[in-house]
Amino acid sequence: MHPMLNIGVRAARAAGRVITQSMGRLDTLQVETKGHNDFVTEVDRQAEAEIISVLKRSYADHAFLGEESGLTGSADAEYRWVIDPLDGTMNFLHGLPHFSVSIALLKQDRLFQAVIYDPTRQELFTAGKGDGAFLDAKRLRVKKTQHLADALLGSGFPNRTQQDLDFYQRTARHYTERCSGVRRLGSAALDLAYVAAGRLDGAWLLGLSEWDLAAGALLVREAGGLINDFDGGDTWRSSGDLIAATPKVHHEMLEVMKPLSAARKRMPN
């Protein structure tokens, strides 16, 4: 394991301990609303602070982009950690044990290392650019599913605008009609980890932030899957719109999505 990835794993496990130790007091947690269906708890902030503390002890000169604390360190730093301390906060708040810690490391603005940790199942997903993707010590490969009709897909409802919800409903209808099933599990990071692990054949996600997607995207690529935005390009980090899938399924998902995306762009704001 790359030394920087090893430190990332240490940080993810430390955050996982903060999260699991808080599960017995969900009814007393301080919760704030950031937006419609967008919540932050004291646990999100404590877990993020723990992650950054662990990382800074080894890499004080790196930059850190956290969902809750924003960017610290130089914007021009060679290395930048992208952190979602609790992906699936809504699940966590309801005691639904499906959430994760997501940490990605960018080198010169390119995905370099990734960790996604599920503290309830104690599953550790890791990836390094050119080194492959792993679940604990097991090498991951995406499934060999050949057709969208046979695929199980993951997705998630957007939280932002009515237009996003209308668009999502159209995409969900088209994919539901063409695939074997759709699952909305509530953690984008785990959706992508599950594509890498072959538990899902593909996923489409929209309106998300870089910290939701970065680690999972590297996992999928290193497991042999494909990542693109809804037009087949590579703007997903800025747009927050992403398709991830095994190669054959990815092609068919894009064929469905491209005309829907084009129509979306013609819609009035």
Report the C-alpha gap between 13 and 47 in whole angstroms. Answer: 10
- Strands 70-72 and 38-41: what pairing? unpaired
Report the C-alpha gap between 254 and 259 in whole angstroms. Answer: 9
- pLDDT value at residue 44: 86
Domains of the chain, first to last: 3-139 (3.30.540.10), 148-264 (3.40.190.80)
Report the C-alpha gap between 10 and 34 in whole angstroms. Answer: 29
Q: What is the DSSP string of 148-169?
A: GGG-EEEE----S-HHHHHHHH
What is the arrangement of strands in the sheet containing 242-245, beginning at the earlier edge strand? 181-183, 152-155, 202-205, 242-245, 226-228
- pLDDT value at residue 141: 98
Strand intervals (E) in the chain:
31-35, 38-41, 63-66, 70-72, 79-87, 100-107, 110-118, 123-128, 132-135, 138-139, 152-155, 181-183, 202-205, 226-228, 242-245
In the chain, which stretches have pLDDT less than 50? 36-38
Contact 182, 153 (CB under 8 A): yes
- pLDDT value at residue 269: 59
- pLDDT value at residue 37: 46
